Structure 1
Amino acid sequence: MFVCNCFGVTEAQVKKHAADGACTPRQIASACKAGTDCGSCVRRIQALLGRGALPGRDTAKQDIPALAEAGRRQERLDEAA
């Protein structure tokens, strides 16, 4: 199923980029251009990335193991950018 019709990016491609470390729509865009033309696919990309379920940094700093790891991962990605 296509996620981005403008660039022909499929759901499987977005999931592969996510598995390779992309965890934001911007990182997906850098990997395959999805979301950079009309923008109508950005919400679908967010859903595939689980953006609604991922904690913010403030929540991650409460020392809940899974949440803390998600926060640390995002901080490493932000530092690398």
Structure 2
Amino acid sequence: MLRVFVCSCFGVTDRQIEDHAAAGACTPRQIASVSKAGTDCGSCVRTIQGLLGRGACPRRELMEQGEEALSATALSEVRLSEAA
């Protein structure tokens, strides 16, 4: 298994970042809170952002679903007020 170090300061690999993202960490700050990656020299933060941008984020998907539900509810309320 090939390990690609994303954060050399703390020895965090791309696989670890992906695992944390799968567990729900969707931002570099959330990755930093569970792994310390990006908290020392900061040179890996853009790489972490790139890795997070490649995959689906469970929290982001839930937020988008919530926004869609909220939009549908708001649209229904507008239609009801127009009908009154």
Q: Normalised by the size of structure 2, how large is the TM-score?
A: 0.62
- Rg larger in structure: 2
Partner amino acid, structure 2, of 1:3: V
Residue correspondence of structure 1 range 2-81 to structure 2 within 5 A? 2-50=5-53, 68-69=64-65
The two structures have a TM-score, normalised by structure 1, of 0.65
Gaps of 5+ in 2: 69-84
Cα distance, 1:29–1:46 mapped onto 2, change above 3 Å: same
Distance 2:36 2:67 in 1: 25
Give CA deviations for 1:9-38 in whole Å, capped at 9, x if unaligned.
Answer: 000000000000000000000000000000
Higher relative contact order (CA 8 A, sep 6+): 2
Q: Which has the larger helix fraction?
A: 2
**Which 4+ residue blocks in structure 1 deviate beyond 4 angstroms?**
none
Partner of 1:59: none
How many equivalent pairs are there?
62
